[in-house]
Structures are given as structure tokens and as C-alpha cells.
């Protein structure tokens, strides 16, 4: 006997309900009491504050001039604008470039082009290597799955029925910038799936996407969840960075001298101009 479309839908609904599963267009309901905006912001901040230092081996995909490259990058960081990058040439397995911020100044060495740069350690320092413009302490948040938050945020909370996630729509006090956070609380902790900041005109300043969260314990016994990969994009800089975190150790004791890069006086200055990339970055890790 031929069943009508409505009959098939009812059969599906009855079958799936018996198995405890939703049908096609069903909404995902919030499985816990609705949290407050302040509680979620406090949790996101505290997740970042758990970590004071990190050492990581990563595979990073980013733009160098108009060329897209993928390199093993060893990175370490410590609160107080201290960060160190070693990018490894995959063909020779030697250090291609070295960047360090010691809390005050930065130094950058390009061994392949035999040139150097130095200056004040600020949000432009990391851009000398990775093109993206980030404060060193904000890169620490990226490495542990947290996010910077706009100043004095006020906002509202909504539930995304399709993704089963909390969405925080924030406005910086004074109305200058907006931020959207997408958070998952499925594991009893708040994973930052997405974070995006827009300027006063509504233009995207930057966007962060994290995937593949799993639990981790720091060297001093604290627990948190960290992502397998992070994608940070910054349209105004025509830049984006995809980082796959292969190994991480958190809250190690790191000596201050590890962030100092000696600069040979005879090296020429590196060019600082940045050519526009020919195409947007691919997503090397499409899994959720």
C-alpha cells in the first residue's frame, strides 16, 4: 500500500521517538537551566586565567608575502607579553625564522633571507612572522582555547537550537564595538567554539574558530579543555592563521632569558610590506 508524505513523516516521528531520537527538523533544547551573561563571561575569563605559561609544538598554516605555507612552529609564552616562535623549514628541518618578545621589546630573525627586525613588543610584533596582529598575551588565550573579550561588555544571551550552543551578543560599553561568542556547555565546561569582534560600523575586525576540544591537566594540576585546532582570521590585515596544536604543556616554569633573541649587528633590515594573498585560507580540519 502506498503511503502519503504525511503518513511517512508520522511513521518516522513515531519510530524515532521510540528510539529516543529527534526527527529531521527538530530543535535541540537547552539541557540545563539558562545561565546568566555574567556567569558565562566569568567562566570564559577564568578558563584563560588558569594558564600562565605554555610550550607547544604546532603545525601552522599562514601567509608569508603572497605565498601560503605550512610549517612546524615551536611556540612558548608567558603572561606579561613574553612569547617565542621558532618556525622550521620542512625541507631542511632547520630554523627558518625566530621571533621573541621579552615583555618590552621584540626581535625577529629571518635566517633564510638573512635579515632582522626589532622594536617595541606590542600587537604588531607577532605580525612580523604570522601576519596576524595579536597581543602576545592574547595569543596565549588562543593557544589554550579561550578568547579576548571587549572592554566592559554588556549583552544578551540566546540559545542556538540548531547547534545546541549558547550565543552571547555583546556590546562594548559606549557602543564602540560588538562581539559574538558561541559557547558549548555539553561537557560541563564552556568551550569557545567561535568568537568574533566587529567595529562600530559593523565591519569584522577578527574571528576565531576552535575545533576538537578535549580535557587536559596543567603541570600544577589544574583542569581545563583545549582545542585540537584554531583558525584566526583578520580581514583588514588580509591575514589568517590555522594552527593545529600537536603537543602542549601548560604552566611550566619558564626562565626570562628564553624569550630573548640576540640580533647580529651586521644583518640587514627585513622588508615590512605585506602583499595581499591571492585567495582565502583553506580549512585543513573540517571535522567539528
The 10s digit of each residue's pLDDT in 109-164 is 999 999 999 999 999 999 999 999 999 999 999 999 999 999 999 999 999 999 99
What's residue 25's pLDDT? 60
For residues 249-253, give the mean pLDDT: 97
Q: How confident is the model at residue 54 (pLDDT cuts 50, 70, 90)?
A: very high
What's residue 24's pLDDT? 52
Residue with cell 585543513: 284
Q: How confident is the model at residue 19 (pLDDT cuts 50, 70, 90)?
A: very low
What's residue 38's pLDDT? 95
Give the number of other CB atoms < 10 A from CB of residue 9.
13
Residue with cell 604546532: 58
CATH code that applies to domain 32-269: 2.50.20.10
Closest listed residue to residue 266, CA positions, set 83, 103, 115 = 115
Q: How confident is the model at residue 18 (pLDDT cuts 50, 70, 90)?
A: very low
Domain boundaries, the chain: 32-269
Residue with more model confidence, 17 or 262: 262
Please, which contacts does 23-31 make with residues 24 or more away whose CB atoms are closer than 8 Å? 27/161, 27/162, 28/161, 28/162, 28/163, 28/164, 29/161, 30/159
Q: How far apart are CA 203 and CA 184, in angstroms?
A: 25
For residues 168-174, give the mean pLDDT: 93
Amino acid at each position: 500500500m502506498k503511503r502519503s508524505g504525511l503518513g511517512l513523516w508520522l511513521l518516522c516521528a513515531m519510530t524515532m521517538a521510540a528510539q529516543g531520537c529527534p526527527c529531521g527538523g527538530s530543535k535541540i533544547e537547552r539541557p540545563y537551566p539558562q545561565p546568566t551573561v555574567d556567569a558565562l563571561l566569568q567562566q570564559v575569563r577564568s578558563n584563560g586565567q588558569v594558564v600562565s605559561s605554555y610550550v607547544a609544538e604546532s603545525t601552522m598554516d599562514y601567509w608569508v608575502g603572497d605565498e601560503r605555507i605550512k610549517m612546524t612552529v615551536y611556540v612558548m609564552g608567558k603572561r606579561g607579553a613574553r612569547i617565542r616562535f621558532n618556525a622550521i623549514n620542512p625541507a631542511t628541518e632547520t630554523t627558518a625564522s625566530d621571533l621573541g618578545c621579552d615583555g618590552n621589546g621584540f626581535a625577529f630573525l629571518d635566517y633564510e633571507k638573512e635579515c632582522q627586525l626589532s622594536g617595541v613588543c606590542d600587537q604588531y610584533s607577532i605580525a612580523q612572522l604570522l601576519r596576524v596582529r595579536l597581543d602576545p598575551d592574547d595569543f596565549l588565550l588562543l593557544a589554550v582555547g579561550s578568547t579576548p573579550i571587549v572592554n566592559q561588555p554588556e549583552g544578551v544571551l540566546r540559545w542556538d537550537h540548531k547547534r545546541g550552543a549558547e550565543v552571547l551578543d555583546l556590546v562594548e560599553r559606549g557602543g564602540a564595538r560588538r562581539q559574538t561568542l558561541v559557547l558549548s556547555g555539553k561537557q560541563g565546561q564552556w568551550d569557545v567554539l567561535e568568537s568574533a569582534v566587529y567595529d562600530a560600523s559593523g565591519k569584522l575586525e577578527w574571528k576565531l574558530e576552535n575545533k576538537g576540544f578535549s580535557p587536559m591537566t596543567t603541570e600544577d594540576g589544574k583542569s581545563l579543555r583545549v582545542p585540537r585546532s584554531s583558525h584566526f582570521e583578520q580581514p583588514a590585515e588580509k591575514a589568517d592563521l590555522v594552527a593545529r596544536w600537536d603537543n602542549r604543556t601548560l604552566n611550566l616554569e619558564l626562565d626570562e632569558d628564553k624569550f630573548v633573541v640576540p640580533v647580529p649587528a651586521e644583518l640587514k633590515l627585513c622588508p615590512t610590506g605585506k602583499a595581499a594573498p591571492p585567495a582565502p585560507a583553506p580549512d585543513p580540519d573540517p571535522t567539528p
